[in-house]
Structure 1
Amino acid sequence: MFKRALLHIGFEKTGSTSVQVFLTDNIARLRALGYFVPRSLVREDGFCNHTRLVAYALADHKLDDDLRLHHGVTNAAQLAAFRETTTANLAEEAAAATGCGFMLLSNEHLSSRVTEAAELANLQALLATVCEQVTIFVYLRNQADLLQSAYNEAIKVGFHNIDLIPDFANKATGGWVERRYFEYGSTLALWAETFGQENIMVRLFEPDGLLFGDVVQDLLFRIHVDPSRFTAFPRANEGLDASAQHFLKQLNGSLAHLAANDAARIRERVIDILMQERRGTGRKLTASDAAAFVAQFEDENESVRRRWFPDRPTLFRTRDDIAAEVDPPCDDSFRIMTLLLEALL
């Protein structure tokens, strides 16, 4: 039985992939320090993103969730068997983790998909089989920054008929992201009800809010691991520049008639090439649009500030670095096409 589970839940687009790359690369070294990273809960490829936690916790009727489908769960019988196997495998791993006082886990979809009290109760029950206590670690990002990063990710996975600023009521162009994705106060309140506010460690994903400006080192410090024991701190899942985004968005539209697997294969190859030459922060909101978007969540942010950051005047710092462009024309298309052809031929 571990003294405590240390559970990192995102939010999405706050460096979670970098955390998981670090866990994957350092699983043995962390275990030597007394921090056990379970393999039975990760993806089949061994990457330390504990997706089985989400598949286990979701309500019984959510059988169409892609993480459940990924783990072969499509009906009630398979779900029951999956939960039984997950519990047994975790117990077996925990029993063999002698000398470890802590279990370290990470999955960003816990904050965005596990949205009901009963689902959190499922998660809590699973962790209680091997841990005495649970501490939740969560990172929050200014909603305007989160939106820009999420837009980049949406294009990288195939969306094309979408707007940077979503109309949450319009499923055709705004349905690529849900409003609750940005509602930090409601999400954290639900987690606090289940695990206790004293066990929810909230950090701000801002340059001045992270140790050394790095989420991996910040998380290590928060769990009482000295970051200086390690030398490499990865930065994964970086974005494309605005012109490359625009190009890929148009390509996604052209690939829409293909079978999903064929389109994904082509898109992934193109992204690999673009990421070699066209990394960047992507499209930017204007200052006024950014302020208007964040203002929609003023009450949510204020509830977080009052509970976890009472000494701050506002939850997030005032933004003064928003670009003055919304959708720059893709005047770089010819150079991007040349780059792709040179790489492919």
Structure 2
Amino acid sequence: MKKKLFVHIGMPKAGSTALQEFLYMNREVLEDMGLLYPDPRQLEQFSRKPQMMKGHHIVPMYLTGFFWAHFPKKNGITSDQIFTFIRNQISASPAQKVLLSSEACWFMLNRPDVVKEFVNAFSDFDLKIIAYLRRQDDHIQSGYNECIKSSFYTMNVDEFIEDRFLDPSNKYYSHLMLWVNTIGYNNITVRIYEKRCLINGSIFDDLLAQCGIELNKELKLPKKDANPRLSLDALIFQRIVNIICADKAVKQEFSSLLLAYSESNDRETTRAFGISNLLDQKQRDRINKWYSEENELLSSVFLTQSQKEAYQQSKTSGGSGNQHLSSEKIYEITNYIENQNPDLINILFLQLNQPGNRLITDISYYKVLKNTIESCLLKRNLI
């Protein structure tokens, strides 16, 4: 009898990081329960940073040749070696079920030939694909936070929306049909990343249930959000930092501090399914109109009635549309950073005074931030 191979393909910003944290920390218990989660951290020969891996991102990356900056490629490695490595772990395990997880599969395995190559590599398994979806406006809103926080984008929200419109992986129906046309409709499971749609309101319970495994007391839960978000105010401040600072390490230091600020000022940033109202209703309506035809097809082919209702009724309504920082918030955040790491304020001061600084075009931000930073430096007798 063939072993069942479940592949959780994401999508990104739909609980994937938390899932991989959970699966990795429980892999021994899960194997005893009959579900193997191959150890991604044994992939030292395939990645220069194996300690960061809790998902199987290496599989789609070596298959497509596209790599995240924080998971750099090692030369001389082929996708066949990756597949062999995974298959050897599967062969050595008595477990009759296997689970791979990588949200990179969602946007990297995006052509019929690549999907077919992936399927052929595991042709001697009973292959099942599991995808978690969140409506495009919620997904884009969450993606913007991630890109400002971790990839240090400088786009404003409207520019980011336009950029996402060019991403074919946001056309969910068309994307899922790549898999249907290769392994058949009955081998695809689509779930909606909404608390009310998940078994016990838990992404962990829900994914295990799709694999025929019940959550038990031996399984540990992550102690904190594996991928926390910036609060709206911290998000806008981080974008300012991204605009005026070129050094990636410096931007990362700001991001870490602003995440701590967010956690202390907005509990939603560390809560699963936390609400963020970055997008206003006009922006949400524009996004949903853009994808309306795709979503009608998605609903008619892949979703149950309850899933349709949840998908159509987003948990968040449009926000205020106020994507600007007040002078009070600039003062509050700047002083928080000053108290935590004064050196970062020194760096901001130097960057603000560089000729050609892009922030000068936004006079309101420039003047308030410059005055606030100068007041911090005056307290330390540095100017």
Q: Shorter-chain TM-score: what band?
A: 0.7 to 0.9
Q: Which residue of 1 aligns with 2:261?
A: 277
Q: Judge which range, 327-336 or 148-157, deviates more.
A: 327-336
Q: Which residue of 2 aligns with 1:333?
A: 330
TM superposition shift of 1:193: 0.9
Asked whether the 8 Å contact 1:11–1:139 carries over to 2, the reply is yes
* Residue 295 of structure 1 pairs with residue 285 of structure 2: no
Name the TM-score, length of structure 1 as normaliser. 0.84
Flag the 1:298–1:176 CA change in 2: closer, same or farther, 3 A.
closer
* Residue 101 of structure 1 pairs with residue 85 of structure 2: no
Asked whether the 8 Å contact 2:59–2:83 carries over to 1, the reply is no
In structure 1, how many angstroms separate the alpha carbons of the residues matched to 2:114 and 2:239? 35
Q: Aligned match of 2:137 in 124, 140, 144?
A: 144
TM superposition shift of 1:144: 0.9
Q: Judge which range, 244-253 or 215-224, deviates more.
A: 215-224
Q: Aligned match of 1:114 in 101, 106, 109?
A: 109
Q: Which residue of 1 aligns with 2:183?
A: 195
Asked whether the 8 Å contact 2:11–2:103 carries over to 1, the reply is yes
Residue 232 of structure 1 aligns with an amino acid whose one-letter code is: L
Report SS of the residue matched to 2:311.
Answer: coil
Q: Which residue of 1 aligns with 2:231?
A: 241
Flag the 1:283–1:154 CA change in 2: closer, same or farther, 3 A.
farther
Report SS of the residue matched to 1:267.
Answer: helix
The structure that is helix-richer by fraction is 2
TM superposition shift of 1:297: 0.8
Residue 82 of structure 1 aligns with an amino acid whose one-letter code is: T
> 1:15-30 alignment to 2 at 5 Å?
15-30=15-30
Q: Aligned match of 2:163 in 152, 158, 175?
A: 175
Q: Judge which range, 229-238 or 134-143, deviates more.
A: 229-238
Q: Number of aligned residue pairs: give it.
A: 321
Structure 1: any 5+ residue segments left out of the alignment? 169-173
Q: Which residue of 1 aligns with 2:371?
A: none
In structure 1, how many angstroms separate the alpha carbons of the residues matched to 2:169 and 2:32? 36
TM superposition shift of 1:84: 3.2
Q: Percent identity?
A: 21
Q: Residues 117-165 of structure 1, C-alpha deviation per residue, up to 9 Å, x if partnerless?
A: 110111112223xx52111110110111111100001101244431323
In structure 1, how many angstroms separate the alpha carbons of the residues matched to 2:54 and 2:175? 24
Asked whether the 8 Å contact 2:61–2:104 carries over to 1, the reply is no
Q: Aligned match of 2:221 in 213, 232, 244?
A: 232
Report SS of the residue matched to 1:175.
Answer: helix
Q: Judge which range, 315-324 or 334-343, deviates more.
A: 315-324
Report SS of the residue matched to 2:6.
Answer: strand
TM superposition shift of 1:104: 0.8
Name the TM-score, length of structure 2 as normaliser. 0.76
Q: Residues 208-260 of structure 1, C-alpha deviation per residue, up to 9 Å, x if partnerless?
A: 1112322122111221221233241553212111110010000011123x3xx
Q: Which residue of 1 aligns with 2:252?
A: 268
